[in-house]
Amino acid sequence: MARPNDKFRYVFCRQLRHFDQEMTEFRCVYESFAPDERKEVREWLEAVDVLWKKCPFDWGLLVKVRHDEFNDSGEKVDERNADFIAYTMLMAIKSWDEGQPFVPDTVLP
């Protein structure tokens, strides 16, 4: 029989794996942009982050990244999707632009 702590670790690890996968998807999309587009993305995310911090309610804003790739005949050949808060995306971008891996502040139980 699994101990309660083992079940928590299992769920935590599954969520972390899902987060890592989505972050990888977002990184692929971000790195496909030209430098001026990356700048626009950062500026837009900064505006979204400011807007979210001003919200007087206990609400959050998620940014959905959806990036479909099509071949020359118009068929979808790849799809990348992810949902994050703007702050997480900004921290990841900052790390990547500095040539560093993005490692969120978490503690594995």
Q: What confidence tens digit (pLDDT) does each residue in 89-103 have?
A: 999 999 999 999 887
| Nearest by Cα to 60 from 51, 52, 68, 50 | 52
Neighbours of 94 (CB within 10 A): 12
Which residue stretches of 1-109 are H helix?
4-31, 35-54, 86-97
User: Which pair of tokens denotes residue 8?
Assistant: 């928590």
pTM tops 0.85: no
Choose among 22, 1, 11, 17: nearest CA to 109: 11
Instruction: Print pLDDT tens along the chain (109 aa).
Output: 556 678 888 888 888 888 888 888 889 889 989 999 999 999 999 999 999 888 888 888 888 888 788 888 888 888 777 888 899 999 999 999 999 988 776 544 4
